[in-house]
Structure 1
Amino acid sequence: MIKLIKRVSLTSAIMAFAFMIVQVISDLYLPNLTSNIINDGVAKGDIDYIWSTGIVMLGFSLLSIVAAVGNTYYATKESQKLGQKLRSDVYRKVEQSSIKTFDKYGTASLITRTTNDINQVALVTQMTLRLMINAPITLLGASFLAYQKDAELTRVFLVVIPIMITVIGVIMYLAVPLFKSMQEKTDRLNLVFRENLTGVRVVRAFNKTKYEEKRFDEANLDFTTTAIKVNTIVSSMMPIMTLIMSGTTVAITWFGAQYISEMQLEVGNLIAFITYAMQILFSFMMFAMLFVMIPRGEASAKRINEVLEEEDYILDPEQPETLTTKGKDATLVFKNVDYRYAGAEKRTLEDVNFEVRSGQTVAIIGGTGSGKTTLVNLIPRLYDIEAGEIMINGHNIASVTQKNLREVIGFVPQKAVLFTGTIRENIKYGNKEATDEEIWQALTTAQAREFVESLPDGLDSHVEQGGGNFSGGQKQRLAIARALVKKSDIFVFDDSFSALDFKTDANLRQALKEDLTQGILVIVAQRVSTVIDADTILVLDEGKVVGQGTHEELLASNETYQEIVSSQLREEDLA
């Protein structure tokens, strides 16, 4: 928490502190003026003194209001600026982090940390700049002035204060662990809700609406039960404190009346003492609020710092080389590449070797879980290899910056992702300088021109979140066009033709062959028909390359490839 609060501007903190000092001094001086009015004005019938002192009281009251507004302004301003900085920092950190970070925390938790947790830290910061200054100064000042008014009456605090400290301690002991658990339950609630939103089609297709409603209700009830419990505990503080304060007022009035009857205390001094006593008790209540909120903010701050201090698994070199596009001389080489996921006993990829040059296509095929997607994710360095080398245009990809590396790669992931906006904006995501002519050319190659032209607004047609208003095949073709408009040396298609019919698949591969004469194509596919024309086909089985060659060579000599071909032929025959 302290690490995050250090980000607050020192100037604003000083201004908040200065305004609060003025407010506290004004508030502490007012009871003394009240005492003077009663003792020297009302008791003596001095109307002029009452008016003059009343005007002074009004001035101090206005000064207190102005100071309170000033303190609130700077406290709010800095707490919200801190929230803004943290949201930006967490967002940039997540955007620049490796895929391992997403795998470690999960999307739902990252969203919660960026919103709910940062809001908690901002709230605690605001309270700190207000109450952390107000409470101790008011406590010390009111205690000193109360003692000045009557030293004997201050003995009441010897009983009251230990009781308040005990109450605050018990409430903290019960509430703080619940506040911490609420953050985890918020993660769980967000996770379930997000899964239901993203998987709504699957939920309805399998008639699992009631099941998912039950799962959400359980997470919701768990969160609600904890929230009710912790808020009930915290809310009990106010009536208990009010009871203590009322009892304190009764005790002070009782003893004070006796002192007045014995001529040991003036009435005005008793009124001022009661006011100072309330200020002292309110200070303890402010401390209690802080002690309840700070642990909650601390829990949130810890979760934010976990993300901000997360180790960068993929680092850029200190003295990077420059990777440039080579056009017809581009190369992609895997040398003895091994890869293992974090915590896994067995390697996902082992001793992968191949080389491909401009104008050539390397296709990767194999069973589910054989490591196809993992292999192509290593090319743009979404993961770092365990051993071996990956060379692009003669440079080890670890010797160049990630930004530079990805400039020469056009990547189409396994799941086609489109962003809210227009088709033009989505295609320009690959190349912001692309002209409409280049966009149409990319759409033509991707076999998407026909359906885009049929839309009323053409390139300006709206794309809903995730491309929900397009079919799977349309989304894949738009994603392919986005990669093609980049004009890279290497194009990676990770099972990007799976939603296409056989005719569109064949037309697309033919168009790629004709238009990308200088590009390197890396294609992951499940269908033999998709990889049949590749210059080199890699057959993966349990992370190992068990076959490498053309379709004819593998069909003649590789048992695994023969099994894949024969299984698909049988399925086609049955169809």
Structure 2
Amino acid sequence: MGILKPYLKNNYLSIIGAVISVIILAGSTLWQPKLLQTIMKAIIANNRNEVYDYGVQLIVLAVIGIIAGIASTFFSAKVAQSVTTDLRADLYTKIQGFSFGNIEKFSAGSLVVRLINDMNQILNLVMTILTQLLRIPLLFIGAFILGIITIPRLWWIEILMIVLILALTGSVFSHMGDLFARFQKWLDRMNTVAKESMQGIRVIKSFNQEENETKKFAATADELKNLNLTIGYLFSLLIPAFMLISNIMILLSVYFIGAKIISHPNDLAAIASFISYLMQLMFAIIIGAMTMTMASRGMISLKRVKEVMETKPDVEFNNNAGENILASNVEFENVSFAYPNASEDSLKDISFKVKEGSFVGIVGSTGSGKTTLAQLIARLYDPTRGNVKIGGKKLQSITAATLRATVSFVLQKAVLFSGTIEDNLKQGKSDATNEEMEWALDVAQAKEFVDKYEDGVKHRVEERSANFSGGQKQRLSIARGIIGKPKILILDDSTSALDAKSEKLVQQGLESEMKTTTVFMIAEKISSVIKADTILVLDNGELVGMGTHKELLESSPIYQEIYAAQLSRTGGQA
């Protein structure tokens, strides 16, 4: 609960209102049977004036209880909504600060569940605490004492009912915590399966895998169904059992009161009140048990959110360093890197230096470490050993703002967000002018199709950019990457969906418009980087060659092999 304290403090006035309302509500609920007993005495005595007076008091008390109940719900809901809204916003901010490693640790699907489903459970938890945590003990203690005061000789019936109900609820609810924990786990899994299926729908349809995916989802859904049924069965047993116990206690009360009515005539007026207190006792225990169950589910969700909030990002920036203007030369000093839980390094003792304004190609077979190396430049991960420097400074010594202003990373899989083309471009530079957007689109060869839209950069981008082709998405992604005129630009095979002519035009645009920018281009085709100032050749995580195209053809067997293979596939043109 410690994680909620700062959020609760911000709503202390509403919490005070909720507490006062609950006390008034519990008090009115407890006093109603007492007034009813007084009215019964007046009826037996045929005293109409007292019946009228106490009847009015009973109605007023009921109205007060209704108003207090409404106020309690209002204040509790206000606090619960405020707390969960602020906590969700902070959780989202925390996730935004995570590295790739942190995201992979939790999985994107699990983080989505924590942001939505777990937050709903925490909302219910806060609501339950404010409405029931104080009310249940007040009702229980008050009903127990007032019941004994009403008919002292039947105290043992209250004790017997409490013992039986507590024994029943304890045996059932002891299993609930584990069931709810398993429920959240399977909910995470179902979310992941559904997300992967939706994102990969084209692949699924291409390989006719609809039936297999349906079976996979159904298997997960069946697990959730079985857990829900188990929880439902346990609850379905409780209510009839509670009613049976309460009816037995009422039967015993009526029997013993009837047996002694001659010697205790006042019990006739008290029997209805005593039974009301018995029902309030049962209600307090049942609602208390339900509250504990809901609280256990909420506490599990709170624990899951706390786990994320207390996770230290793998990549932390020195925000006290101040803003700096970095040069665009890049240096790797004996850099090795292993992904979390990997058995071996993905990069092994990499060292090289790149001058400002260089065009650097990175080639190698699939899995050789090309993208991993580029991610270290953008500090999406930190190296396991060694140092990466930009402008002579270690990446750990500069602020996030400085690094993001210096380095721009354009991914192979172009990701555009729903909104407009303008919205996406301004992710690269929030205050970009129309002229800057025109320039970036022109360099990225995206202007030709954007200008065809009547609304231009105001054109809508649908969810997952479904209204754009792969090549269009890559060109818009490149435009977003260059609009801020970064000093270092990383292109991770970002022209793979373009035809040869468009790719050549993009490269020519970058060469002419971004002459001072250091460009790292990861390429599957050597033809894409054949004019590079330096080409890095990676194989199995090792830097096995470095030089110009001509130099590598003479000195690097791996490069020669890749080049020859591409020549053979393209009929003599790499």
Q: TM-score range by the shorter chain?
A: over 0.9
1:214 maps to: 215
Instruction: Using the TM superposition, give the Cα deviation of residue 505 of structure 1 relative to its aligned residue in structure 2, in angstroms.
Output: 1.2
Contact kept, 8 Å, 1:5 with 1:125, in 2: the verdict is no
Q: Secondary structure at the match of 1:433?
A: coil
Measured in 1, the distance between the counterparts of 2:5 and 2:215 equals: 41
The match for 2:332 is 334
The residue aligned with 1:512 is 510
In the other structure, the counterpart of 2:425 is: 427
Q: Using the aligned pairs only, state the percent identity.
A: 34
Aligned-pair CA distance for 1:7: 3.1
- CA–CA distance in structure 2, aligned partners of residues 29 and 334 of structure 1: 78
SS in 2 for 1:25: helix
Deviations 1:242-269 (A, max 9, x none): 2211222111111112222333543121
2:13 corresponds in structure 1 to: 11
For the residues of structure 2 that align with 1:522 and 1:551, how far apart are their CA atoms? 15
Question: Equivalents in 2 of 1:5, 1:172: separation in Å?
Answer: 27
Q: 1:315 to 1:240 in 2, by over 3 A?
A: same
Q: Partner residue of 1:542?
A: 540
CA 1:57–1:263: 2 relative to 1, 3 Å: same
Q: Contact 2:165–2:242 at 8 Å: present in 1 too?
A: yes
Equivalent runs, 1:239-278 vs 2, <5 Å: 239-263=240-264, 265-278=266-279
Long gaps (5+) in structure 2:
none
Q: Specify the alignment match of 2:124 in structure 1.
A: 123
In the alignment, which residue of structure 2 is the partner of 1:562? Answer: 560
CA offset at residue 235 of structure 1? 3.1
**CA–CA distance in structure 1, aligned partners of residues 214 and 521 of structure 2:** 40
Q: CA-to-partner distance for each residue in 1:325-382, whole Å, 9 max, x for gaps?
A: 55xxx32222222212222232211222222233310110001111100111011211
Q: 2:176 touches 2:293 (CA, 8 Å); kept in 1?
A: yes
| CA–CA distance in structure 2, aligned partners of residues 321 and 391 of structure 1 | 17
Distance (whole Å) between structure 1 residues aligned to residue 192 and residue 385 of structure 2:
35
Query: Map of 1:343-354 to 2, 5 A cutoff?
Result: 343-354=341-352
Secondary structure at the residue paired with 1:547? strand
- Aligned residues of 1:259 and 1:265 also touching (Cα < 8 A): no
Match of 1:36 among 35, 38, 44: 38
Q: Distance in 2 between matches of 1:222 and 1:50?
A: 59
CA contact (8 A) 1:359 1:517 kept: yes
Select which of 377, 382, 394 maps to 2:392: 394
CA distance in 2, matches of 1:303, 1:356: 44
Question: SS at 1:411's partner residue?
Answer: strand
CA deviation after TM superposition for structure 1 residue 453, in Å: 1.4
Shift of 1:416: 0.6
CA contact (8 A) 2:361 2:535 kept: yes
Q: Which amino acid aligns with 1:322?
A: E
Q: CA deviation at 1:12?
A: 2.6
> In the TM superposition, what is the alpha-carbon distance from 1:2 to its structure 2 partner?
4.9
Instruction: Deviation per CA, 1:203-231: give whole Å up to 9, x if none.
Output: 00000011111111111111111112112
Q: Distance in 1 between matches of 2:251 and 2:232?
A: 29
Choose from 420, 437, 440 the match for 1:439.
Answer: 437
CA–CA distance in structure 1, aligned partners of residues 14 and 169 of structure 2: 31
Shift of 1:442: 0.9
Task: Report the Cα offset of residue 519 of structure 1.
Answer: 0.7
Paired position in structure 1 for 2:233: 232
Which 10-residue stretch deviates more, 165-174 or 203-212? Answer: 165-174
* Cα deviations by residue, 1:248-298 (Å, 9 ceiling, x for unpaired): 211111111222233354312111111111111111111110121121112
Moved more, 315-324 or 372-381: 315-324
Name 1:495's counterpart in structure 2: 493
CA–CA separation in structure 2 for the residues paired with 1:259 and 1:402: 83
Give the ranges of 4+ consecutive aligned residues of structure 1 lying more than 3 Å apart after TM superposition. Answer: none
Which runs of structure 2 are paired with 1:91-490 in the superposition (5 Å)? Answer: 91-263=92-264, 265-317=266-318, 319-326=320-327, 330-490=328-488
In the alignment, the residues of structure 1 paired with residue 492 and residue 105 of structure 2 have an alpha-carbon distance, to the nearest angstrom, of 23
Aligned position for 2:67: 66
Cα displacement (A) at 1:175: 2.5
Asked if the contact 2:320/2:399 (under 8 Å) is kept, the reply is no
Q: CA deviation at 1:436?
A: 1.5
Which letter maps to 1:498? S
Q: Which runs of 5+ in 1 are unaligned?
A: none
For 1:266 and 1:238, the matched residues in 2 are separated by 29
User: Match for 2:174: what amino acid?
Assistant: Y
Distance 1:58 1:419 in 2: 59
1:45 matched to 2:46? The reply is yes
Q: Distance in 1 between matches of 2:105 and 2:271?
A: 63
CA–CA separation in structure 1 for the residues paired with 2:176 and 2:234: 7
Give me the whole-angstrom Cα distance separating, in 2, the residues matched to 1:317 and 1:6: 26
- Alpha-carbon distance in structure 2 between the residues aligned to 1:205 and 1:380: 35
CA distance in 2, matches of 1:174, 1:397: 50
In the alignment, residue 20 of structure 2 is paired with which amino acid?
A
Aligned length: 571
CA contact (8 A) 1:174 1:233 kept: no
Deviation for aligned residue 1:174 = 2.9
AA at the equivalent of 2:183: M
Superposed CA deviations along residues 118-175 of structure 1, whole A, max 9, x for unmatched, are: 1111102111111111111111111111111111112112322211011101111233
Structure 2 Cα separation of the partners of residues 250 and 125 of structure 1: 38
Decide whether the 8 Å contact of 2:334 with 2:387 is kept in 1. Answer: yes
Contact 1:150–1:265, Cα closer than 8 Å, also in 2: no
Aligned match of 1:22: 24
SS in 2 for 1:261: coil
Distance 1:157 1:144 in 2: 10
What letter matches 1:175 in structure 2? M
SS, match of residue 221 in structure 1: helix
Aligned equivalents of 2:446, 2:148: Cα separation in 1? 85
Q: Find the aligned partners of 2:380 and 2:6 in 1 and give their Cα distance.
A: 34
Residue of structure 1 equivalent to 2:88 = 87
Aligned partner letter, 1:154: W
CA contact (8 A) 1:414 1:496 kept: yes
Distance 2:572 2:4 in 1: 64
Q: In the aligned structure 2, how far is the partner of 1:10 from the partner of 1:349?
A: 53
3-state SS of 1:383 partner: coil
Change in Cα spacing, 1:396 to 1:2, as seen in structure 2 (3 Å) is closer
Kindly state the Cα deviation for residue 73 of structure 1 after the two structures are TM-superposed: 1.1
Separation (CA, whole Å) in 1 of partners of 2:294 and 2:245: 22
How far apart are the structure 2 equivalents of 1:55 and 1:232? 44
TM-score by length of 2: 0.97
Secondary structure of residue in 1 paired with 2:257: helix
SS at match of 2:536: strand
Contact 1:424 1:460 in 2 (8 A): yes
| Secondary structure in structure 1 of the residue aligned to 2:545 | strand
- Contact 1:358/1:517, CA 8 A, preserved across alignment: no
1:411-440: per-residue Cα shift (whole Å, max 9, x none)?
101211101011111111111221212111
TM-aligned CA deviation for residue 574 of structure 1: 9.2
